[in-house]
Amino acid sequence: DAGVTQSPTHLIKTRGQQVTLRCSPKSGHDTVSWYQQALGQGPQFIFQYYEEEERQRGNFPDRFSGHQFPNYSSELNVNALLLGDSALYLCASSLVLGTGFAGNTIYFGEGSWLTVV
Amino acid sequence: GDSVTQMEGPVTLSEEAFLTINCTYTATGYPSLFWYVQYPGEGLQLLLKATKADDKGSNKGFEATYRKETTSFHLEKGSVQVSDSAVYFCALSFNKFYFGSGTKLNVKP
């Protein structure tokens, strides 16, 4: 049973550049969320995709955007990179149950380490 | 707003010692509560969960009870092992997850 997979594992970008991170959800899952984890901190919610639409969004600027494809995989795009965007970006997947998103367990990938220089 | 507060680490224990990591939450309703664990260089793994008041989640010797009256979900283990060394995150969820800042556990042989 394939878990959540993310790519690339590590990458280095320059300030002002753009980056795209990719995520394939756990087999059978239809919902993908993205989190930013700064060093020594807990993950912070960026946004959630379900049925190819952004369903919820955290406190992140419009420079952060995403997409979900018909096969449920997802991309996170960050434009105009800042030094402060350096972090571990985690993708998490879940399955929407009859009650909606509330209380569903999310399963994380191993993350993409982004360093902005 | 909704939030989670965890005890600050690091917590250093000897093998076979008793572990408690405190977690309290603030929420407008009754969220589901989770503990996730992160080993070095890895993503987060679900450790246990509880979806309603008085539920006890348990896994691999760890347990936590959803206490509505004290808005807490403290993580406990009776006898820790060196392999339990990791960072532990408490989280609450309504439609999205809110994580605490994590508590690093070091277990010495």
Contact state of B45 with A104 under an 8 Å Cβ cutoff: no
Q: For the residues A19-43, what does the mean pLDDT come to? A: 94
Q: Distance (Å) from the C-alpha of residue B17 to the closest C-alpha of chain A?
A: 25
SS3 state at B84: helix
Q: For the residues A36-56, what does the mean pLDDT come to? A: 93
Instruction: Output the pLDDT for position A103.
Output: 65
Write the pLDDT tens digit of every residue in B71-91: 999 999 999 999 999 999 999
Write the pLDDT tens digit of every residue in B17-58: 999 999 999 998 889 999 999 998 888 999 999 999 999 999
Q: With contacts defined as CB-CB under 8 Å, which chain A residues touch B51?
A: 103
Cα distance from N-terminal residue to C-terminal residue, chain B: 41
Q: How far apart are CA B27 and CA B15, in angstroms?
A: 35
Q: How far apart are CA B73 and CA B58, in angstroms?
A: 12
Radius of gyration for the alpha carbons in chain B, expressed in angstroms and rounded: 13
**What is the share, in percent, of chain A residues with pLDDT greater than 70?**
93
pLDDT at A96 over 70: yes
Nearest to A94 by CA among A108, A80, A77: A108
Contact state of A56 with B95 under an 8 Å Cβ cutoff: yes
